[in-house]
Amino acid sequence: MSAPARQDIILAGVGGQGILSIAAAIAGAALKRGLNVKQAEVHGMAQRGGAVQSHLRLSADRIWSDLIPRGGADLILGVEPLEALRYLDYLAPEGRIVASSKPHLNIPDYPDLEAILGEIRKIPGSVVVEAESLARAAGTARAQNIVILGAASRFLIVDEAGLRENVRGLFEKRGESVLAANLKAFDLGRGAV
């Protein structure tokens, strides 16, 4: 069976969590596969600790809109659970969420975490990943985004080798231990699904 030729992905998190890095890793792997790519990003004010999202569209055909229509996303990747749920209205009926269980508590009125995770688990096929503990186990708590990428690799239409190669590209300039930790984080994330 050949992989489907299009996928619309919302990436969600908080400014500074590395949403754009994992978007770039997926986009790079998709290009390798010969797919067209459009990736809308958030720059500027929101990057200061605010809600950040990226629309990533992959397709063998021409992609028109930079934005995914509400009700059209195949996948939501959340490096933070509240942020994953924030874009629920983008999810297609057969879409799924892959989200971290670890809340980012920089607001006073953070909702009940169990309710948030419960909502995510209610979506058929969705996965909540212990991204923080897995990232720590890999060697750096900062690699939660890469854990989520690894978990999501089970559902992406790009292949695992391509993703790993791009993770390598993201971190190889940061020294061997950082690179090794991120590759491990990817594997642990993938293993968690």
Partner 1 sequence: MPREILLGDEAVALAAVHAGLSGAYSYPGTPASEVMEFLLAAAAGGGFRAAWSVNEKTAFEEALGCSFAGKRALVSFKHVGLNVAADPFMSSALTGAGGGLVVVSADDPGMHSSQNEQDSRFYARFAQIPCFEPADHQAAYDLTREAFDHSEKVGLPVMVRLVTRLAHSRAGVEIQAARPANTLRLGSRRAWTLLPSNARAQFRRLLDLQPSLVRYAEASPWNSLDLNPADRSLGIIASGIAANYVRENRSAGPDRPSLLQLSVYPLPEALIRELVAHCRTILVVEEGYPFIEREVKGMFGLPGKTVLGKLSGHLPLMGELTPEAVRAALGQEPLPRRDTAGLKLAARPPQLCLGCPHGDAFKALNEALEGFPGGNVFSDIGCYTLGYFAPYDAIDTCVCMGASLGMARGAAEAGVFPSVAVIGDSTFGHSGITPLLGAAAVDANMVVVILDNGTVAMTGTQPSFAAGGRLLRIIEGVGVDPARIRVLTPLPKNHRENVRLLREEIARPGLSVVVFVRECLEEAKKKTKTGGLS
7 vs 192 by CB, closer to partner 1: 7
Told to check if 48 binds partner 1 by CB under 8 A, we report yes
Question: Which residues, other chains included, contact 173 with Cβ-Cβ below 8 Å and sequence gap of 6+?
Answer: none
Q: Does 116 bind partner 1 (CB under 8 A)?
A: yes
| Given 6, 21, 33, 140, the residue binding partner 1 (CB under 8 A) | 21
C-beta of residue 78 within 8 angstroms of C-beta of residue 13:
yes
Asked if 99 is part of the footprint of partner 1 (rule: CB under 8 A), the reply reads: no
HSE at residue 85, side-chain half, CA atoms within 13 A, is 20
Using the rule CB under 8 A, is 123 a contact of partner 1?
yes
* C-beta closer to partner 1: residue 105 or 191: 105
- CA-nearest of 70, 72, 67, 96 to 84 is 96
Q: State the burial class of residue 165 (Cβ atoms within 10 Å of its Cβ: 0-12, 13-18, 19+).
A: middle
If the CB atoms of residues 110 and 161 are measured against partner 1, the closer one turns out to be 110
Q: Are 143 and 185 in contact (CB under 8 A)?
A: yes
Closest CA to 144 of 18, 9, 15: 18
CB of 148 to partner 1, least distance (A): 17
Site for partner 1 in 157-176 (CB under 8 A): 170, 173-175
CA distance 112 to 82: 10
Q: Which is nearer to partner 1, 35 or 134 (CB)?
A: 35
Least Å from the CB of residue 162 to partner 1: 14
Question: Which of 4, 71, 125, 191 forms a contact with partner 1 (CB under 8 A)?
Answer: 71
Q: Which tokens in the block code for residue 46? A: 């929101």
Span from 90-98, 129-137, 155-163, 183-191 in contact with partner 1 (CB under 8 A): 90-98
CA distance linking residue 12 with residue 52, whole number of Å = 6
Instruction: Write out the residues near partner 1 by the rule CB under 8 A.
Output: 14-15, 21, 27, 31, 36-51, 55, 63-72, 82-83, 85-86, 88-89, 91-93, 106-111, 115-116, 119, 123, 170, 173-175
